[in-house]
A and B are shown apart, each in its own frame.
Chain A
């Protein structure tokens, strides 16, 4: 139920956006987030973007995965 998936914003029309979820294009609501633009990644849950995904934090996490002890 709490499944949320990363999606790339393709187009923004006011409070709505067209997003790409692994090749599936969907219209979602941007009501719950601010400061997003085309090309940004957002986390989508039941038709709403819940959070903008931070590419910087994602990259940091991946770097941590590679760290040795």
Chain B
């Protein structure tokens, strides 16, 4: 058997033509929601929405962790960054998200010690190298990212680090997908299942889509051909009157996921109520640090309570996240809201549909 190339083989243009010709044999008009921001990015980058428009409509869902972080949660990061002797660390995207206090980027420019890190392991190193400072990691993400945060807490405990803390706004994905389906606001015929979340939680866990909601789900990889093939598998299921979970991303996703990562996640975090931008409070959807690790919980160690005034802005990120409108249907899209001057998080993160739409699609008005 040939050795696969994990990069080029999944972008091959002639294979793409082949899958497309198979897709075009189906006549049914369907709407597929991609729940993962990574998929949104690939779909816009490779023009997949436009080539599918003939019969398949792709809708973006609440799959961008930066985008769904509520203003209240984001405000905690500002409070922590301004706390004396604190170095705030977080992933890069968070720095440009605007709220009523400005952005973390602007706060950093004012002289507060805010550092972007690639990994929680880097945040731990900062803690070890700065024993007289308190290092807080502002943790944003879903199940893909959460094990890395949990691992950093376990590592800090093992190393007896007393100056490393985590403020968790991490979230579980399944409760929001259920909230979206239950709301009935948006009609979805099928779901493109989140590939990298599923490397951790597995493919079997998504069985509730077909079983409870009669919606087919195909777990997809992130290369353009993965997405085209997943769309083909969805159309095939519908044509054959099947409704099940299929796994297109078998090279990375196992039925049970990654048991070690799941154990690390569940050892450190427990489900708690959380606020989502666009959705409000969703029970059991947040990852709260368990009591036995409370010494690392920045929300308990520091006073992060802050009252914010929700201003009425023209930003419609909430509706974009619920799949109710397309980015360009928002009045401020492209003018004045742009990636350089974002009014909401969906224009900040590369996984946000406004940002992806602006970058790759701004000259096309979808119908």
With a cutoff of 8 Å between Cβ atoms, the chain A residues found around residue B2 in the complex are: 59
Question: Would you call A2 and B36 a contact (CB within 8 A)?
Answer: yes
Question: Would you call B144 and A61 a contact (CB within 8 A)?
Answer: no
Question: Would you call A51 and B199 a contact (CB within 8 A)?
Answer: yes
Question: Would you call A43 and B3 a contact (CB within 8 A)?
Answer: no
How would residues 1 to 29 of chain B score, 1 for a CB under 8 Å from any chain A CB and 0 otherwise?
Answer: 11110110110100100110110010000
User: Which residue of the partner chain B has the closest CB to A22?
Assistant: B7
A50, B6: Cα distance in complex, Å: 16
With a cutoff of 8 Å between Cβ atoms, the chain A residues found around residue B145 in the complex are: 1-2, 45-46
The size of the chain A interface, using a CB distance under 8 A, is 35
Contact of A54 among B1, B63, B140, B250 (CB under 8 A): B250
Main secondary structure of the interface of A (DSSP, over half): mixed
A2, B151: Cα distance in complex, Å: 17
The size of the chain B interface, using a CB distance under 8 A, is 59
List A residues 42-69 near B (Cβ within 8 Å).
43, 45-48, 50-51, 53-62, 64-69
With a cutoff of 8 Å between Cβ atoms, the chain B residues found around residue A47 in the complex are: 118-122, 148
With a cutoff of 8 Å between Cβ atoms, the chain A residues found around residue B225 in the complex are: 65
B251 at the interface (CB under 8 A from A): yes
With a cutoff of 8 Å between Cβ atoms, the chain B residues found around residue A67 in the complex are: 18
With a cutoff of 8 Å between Cβ atoms, the chain A residues found around residue B253 in the complex are: 51
With a cutoff of 8 Å between Cβ atoms, the chain A residues found around residue B38 in the complex are: 1-3
Q: A1-B141, A69-B22 are in contact. Are A64 and B229 (CB under 8 A)?
A: yes
Q: A2-B142, A53-B252, A69-B22 are in contact. Are A46 and B120 (CB under 8 A)?
A: yes
Question: Smallest Cβ distance from A9 to chain B, in angstroms?
Answer: 13
B98 at the interface (CB under 8 A from A): no
With a cutoff of 8 Å between Cβ atoms, the chain B residues found around residue A55 in the complex are: 3-4, 251
How would residues 136 to 161 of chain B score, 1 for a CB under 8 Å from any chain A CB and 0 otherwise?
Answer: 00001110110110010000000000
With a cutoff of 8 Å between Cβ atoms, the chain B residues found around residue A58 in the complex are: 4, 6, 9, 251
A9, B34: Cα distance in complex, Å: 31
Question: Would you call A65 and B258 a contact (CB within 8 A)?
Answer: no
Question: Would you call A54 and B351 a contact (CB within 8 A)?
Answer: no
B208 at the interface (CB under 8 A from A): no
With a cutoff of 8 Å between Cβ atoms, the chain B residues found around residue A62 in the complex are: 4, 9-10, 15
A5, B126: Cα distance in complex, Å: 25
A50, B197: Cα distance in complex, Å: 10
Q: A50-B196, A51-B252 are in contact. Are A1 and B351 (CB under 8 A)?
A: yes
A65, B197: Cα distance in complex, Å: 23
Which 7 residue pairs spanning A and B have beta carbons closest together? Answer: A47-B119, A58-B4, A6-B6, A65-B15, A57-B251, A58-B251, A2-B144
